[in-house]
Structure 1
Amino acid sequence: MEATDRANDRTRETPFVDLFREELITRRHADARLAAVIDCVQNPTFLKDADGRYVVCNDEFVSFVERDRDAIIGKRTAEFRPDLARVCDTTDAQLLASGGTEQLELTIELANGNRDIVVERRGYDGDGFSGIVGVIQDVTLQQRRETELREQTRNLEILNQVTRHDIRNDMQVILGMADVLRGYVDEEGQQYLERLAESGKHVVDLTRQARDLTETMLSGDEELTAMSLRPALEAQVDEVGSAYDRAVVTIADTIPEAEVIADEMLSSVFRNIIANGIQHNDSEVPRVTVTATTDEDFAEVRIADNGPGVPDERKTEIFGRGEKGLESSGTGLGLYLVDSLVEKYGGEVQVTDGKEGAEFVVRLPLATATTAVE
């Protein structure tokens, strides 16, 4: 029974401490080997004997406690860092007796300022060795990043609220008044009114893209699920087609009744690509044609337009990919959002040369088997 308990205890050891097991129980052969093993660990690491004297430590530990190695080896903690001894050495006897593990969280003062650390220690008593193995993790930077992340999240939530309500609502009022003005503006002024309406619609699109991007960032690692492709795609064909009077948006063939791995933002992928094919189109009548097919593993959606196309040298950068991100010379938030979402879904998106203009190809992993619906 005792052997079984010991085996169970060992399965609960952390990777740091487990790394030293075999070296500890054969220490009579291998002080040098033990030092070599400890030096492979990037965190400050030490080994004390049953009397609390340091047997070996790595360079990271020497640097962390801001003492020379000669001031550490063979000494107790109280002899070179009394502030650490008051916390770290008080439970040595209990750890040796139990062979257990403990984690201590504390703040210590170093030359470069206060540091938040976690000290993980394990006691060994028997098998030819009695002592304490310890590993120190500096979590100061991690905690600072967590604080910054919480602040960024709050700022994104505020931005999302402003984008969703204030700016969008004001632009809808402006567009409504522009419609009213059509009956009061002479023929010469109609062209300016049309430009005003187009710019207003573009601002509304931008606010929606910013909102969608913000929600995507806030969702983080939210679990993906099976989403129906056909209704998401057909809804955006109707919605975008209705928003742009001068454009023609059509579905070339039946959309397969397929489910893909995605989330509630799936419709934003199609909306932004379709809108992009209209906004960056210099044809007298912008046309966007949508087709969709499936194979064994993926659904493939092709969205082609009759615009000027995309030069080869810009086929990657229009998505805002690379180090520049949103500062790249791409077409804006919309395609950056598309690329971010499709990558999150485990798919891929690219732009190719279509029969007339550009053709965007979106491949999304299937969630279930699919059957074409006539």
Structure 2
Amino acid sequence: MSVPPGGGPLEVLLLPPDREGVLDARALERSLPDANVRLASSLADAVSRYDAAVDCAVSGFRVPGGTAVDLRERAEVDADRTPHIVVVEAEDGRVPVEAVQEPFADLVPAAGEDDTTAAVRESIEKVVSERRSPHLAGDWPSDRRALNDRKASILDQFFTKIPQHLFVKDASARNVMISEAAVSRRIHRLSDDYLGKRDIDGVVPVEEAREPYEDDLAVIRTGEPILEKEEYYPTSDRWFRTSKVPWEEAGDVVGVLGASQEITEEKKRERQLEIVNHHVRHAMRNDLNAVAGWIDVVRNREDGDRNEDGEDRNEDGEDRNEDGEDRQRDDEILDRVSRITERLCNRVEKQQAIVDAVSTEPEPAPRDLSAVVESELRAVADEYESLRIDADIDRDVTAVADEGVDQVVRELIENAVQHSEGRVPEIGVTLHRNGDRAEIHVRDDCTAIPTYEREILTGEREIDQLNHSSGLGLWLVRWLVENSEGRVEFGRTDVGGNDVAVTFPSPG
């Protein structure tokens, strides 16, 4: 007896006929090793044992306490969902008319005990093989042909409407069926380009095709599924989560059934949080260590002062001078600690802004970029009174951008201020239309952003313990612009400063 395709053991409710010698219940139970048989002793017992998990009911027509019709009515057996097989004893060669009128799945004539038991077992295999799987509810056809037609219609709609990369491959790992839905970003090609080909036949770039092809062969060879495997395709910088299961017919593996869902955005967010976590562990730990170091300086000096209190000092003037020097050192230490804590607070705010940026769904929309840039320039001028910005802003420049675009200009200006080495930097901001794009340039005369840092920000270099970006501000800029489907480029000015270009698409 095979396990039903819905998964899990078959659940059979068995209520033998009311007369012994008709059906060997124990023998039937032993012949169904892959099934759970609920053996009932009476009609009332069978009703109490029947529930939605029952896959097949077997009973005599006449049972202790009533009939099979009573069992159907009292247990509310759903004939469309649960097949009911009835063992019928003909009286004077006649079958009870109620047995014929009721929608039982099968009627098994009572013969010798062994023959009846074998016939019931065969009947169970027949009706279960036609059983809907997984469990279905509602107005579904009961005959196998109509049910298969219904399944084929549903399968066709899965492959034509679900926006996911679904595929069927034969025993040679050739694609024989591919979803036709409008998948905006299929792995590499349109669906028709896959048909009749293996991954190594040019469907996927050759350097990326070997592993998925070998996965296909492994599933076909072993019959073991590969579930939710994350696959990276570096030539397109995209990630997919793929599941492959054996395609079986008559107990043999004849190919592969699979589904692949793009998870590039999910992996990008993981990467973003990894970068933030790395920065927190590295940069913030350094700042906290610096604060702890200055606290130790003050504590050690106070300990020395307490030791000297027990010693006589010869000259009051020297004491006054030393007191003045101590106060000056204290002020310097407090200034340093204050700057460090201010930097820590700024990083915490940047952290929160980044978490907000990566955890919310971007909503790019047409925005008045001219108004946004001018508003941010006024806010920066109020905060940094000595700062002078040379601005050249075109009027009425509209671009498609996320609502966080206002932070982009502020972060780029503040980045220049923070790296100006204590002087007032010269900063220029421009906003111009350039064909179907809007371009913002923020230029400064500060030390150029190091090459390794620019490479990290653009993804050309991996971030690691020895190789990290110095601040979160530029990361925030990059991710806010990406949320707006824009682009950030890091260049240099003629005098060796930085020229950060941010490009946004214009509304259609």
TM-score normalised by length of structure 1: 0.50
Task: Name the structure with the higher helix share.
Answer: 1
1:272 Cα offset (Å): 1.4
* Aligned positions of 1:74-113 closer than 5 A: none
The answer for the alignment partner of 1:238 in structure 2 is 378
For residues 183-215 of structure 1, what are the alpha-carbon distances to aligned partners after superposition, in whole Å with 9 as ceiling and x for unaligned?
xxx988766665455444433321222112112
Look up the equivalent residue of 1:20 and give its one-letter code. V
The answer for the alignment partner of 2:219 in structure 1 is 60
Give identity over the alignment, percent.
Answer: 20
With over 3 angstroms needed to count, the CA separation of the structure-2 counterparts of 1:137 and 1:211, relative to structure 1, is same
Give yes or no for the alignment of 1:346 onto 2:486.
Answer: yes
With over 3 angstroms needed to count, the CA separation of the structure-2 counterparts of 1:254 and 1:323, relative to structure 1, is closer
Give yes or no for the alignment of 1:135 onto 2:256.
Answer: yes
Distance 1:206 1:355 in 2: 30
1:118 Cα offset (Å): 7.3
With over 3 angstroms needed to count, the CA separation of the structure-2 counterparts of 1:193 and 1:366, relative to structure 1, is farther
1:300 pairs, out of 435, 439, 443, with: 439
1:317 pairs, out of 455, 458, 461, with: 455
Structure 2: stretches of 5+ with no match in the other structure:
1-149, 160-165, 178-195, 202-211, 228-241, 278-326
* Aligned positions of 1:330-341 closer than 5 A: 330-341=469-480
**Given that residues 489 and 500 in structure 2 are in contact (C-alpha distance below 8 angstroms), is that contact kept between their aligned partners in structure 1?**
yes
1:64 Cα offset (Å): 3.6
Distance 1:38 1:280 in 2: 50
For the residue of structure 1 that corresponds to 2:448, the secondary structure is coil
Distance 1:351 1:16 in 2: 48
Look up the equivalent residue of 1:287 and give its one-letter code. E
Structure showing greater relative contact order (alpha-carbon pairs closer than 8 Å, 6 or more residues apart): 1
1:217 Cα offset (Å): 1.8
The answer for the alignment partner of 1:224 in structure 2 is 364
Distance 1:38 1:202 in 2: 52
For the residue of structure 1 that corresponds to 2:392, the secondary structure is coil
The answer for the alignment partner of 1:16 in structure 2 is 168
**Given that residues 347 and 362 in structure 1 are in contact (C-alpha distance below 8 angstroms), is that contact kept between their aligned partners in structure 2?**
yes
2:347 pairs, out of 206, 220, 245, with: 206
**Given that residues 289 and 305 in structure 1 are in contact (C-alpha distance below 8 angstroms), is that contact kept between their aligned partners in structure 2?**
yes
For residues 265-303 of structure 1, what are the alpha-carbon distances to aligned partners after superposition, in whole Å with 9 as ceiling and x for unaligned?
212221211111000002532332212111211111111
**Given that residues 269 and 341 in structure 1 are in contact (C-alpha distance below 8 angstroms), is that contact kept between their aligned partners in structure 2?**
yes
With over 3 angstroms needed to count, the CA separation of the structure-2 counterparts of 1:277 and 1:296, relative to structure 1, is same
Give yes or no for the alignment of 1:281 onto 2:437.
Answer: no
Look up the equivalent residue of 1:61 and give its one-letter code. I
For the residue of structure 2 that corresponds to 1:209, the secondary structure is helix
RMSD: 5.0
Distance 2:351 2:402 in 1: 17
For residues 230-285 of structure 1, what are the alpha-carbon distances to aligned partners after superposition, in whole Å with 9 as ceiling and x for unaligned?
2322233233333345x404252234322222212212221211111000002532
**Given that residues 168 and 257 in structure 2 are in contact (C-alpha distance below 8 angstroms), is that contact kept between their aligned partners in structure 1?**
no
Q: Which has the larger radius of gyration?
A: 2
For the residue of structure 2 that corresponds to 1:20, the secondary structure is strand
**Given that residues 121 and 135 in structure 1 are in contact (C-alpha distance below 8 angstroms), is that contact kept between their aligned partners in structure 2?**
yes
Distance 1:293 1:63 in 2: 61
For residues 145-164 of structure 1, what are the alpha-carbon distances to aligned partners after superposition, in whole Å with 9 as ceiling and x for unaligned?
9xx99xx89x99xx9xxxxx
The answer for the alignment partner of 2:498 in structure 1 is 358
The count of residues paired between Structure 1 and Structure 2 equals: 248
For the residue of structure 1 that corresponds to 2:351, the secondary structure is helix
